[in-house]
Amino acid sequence: MPKVAAWLGLSEETVETLLAMADTEPEDVMDALDDAIYAMATAVSAAGEVDTE
């Protein structure tokens, strides 16, 4: 998990908090969070592709 956190620019504490939320938050909140994280990962990936070209 630390590699994923670093790749996304998140602290390990943030990742741990998100994992804890997964056990307690309503499904619609988690779906919105999943969408936000996916969008962020897509942006990070796209930025990396631009940097390597």
| pLDDT band at 50; cut points 50, 70, 90 | low
**Where in the sequence is the domain holding 43, given as residue range(s)?**
2-52
Angstrom CA distances, 37 to 30, 42, 52, stand at 10, 9, 23
pLDDT digits (tens, 9 = 90+) for 2-45: 787 777 778 888 888 888 888 899 999 989 988 988 898 888 88
What pLDDT is recorded for position 22? Answer: 84
What pLDDT is recorded for position 7? Answer: 73
* Number of domains making up the chain: 1
What pLDDT is recorded for position 3? Answer: 81
For CA atoms 23, 26, 29, 30, the dihedral sign is positive
Confidence (pTM): 0.60
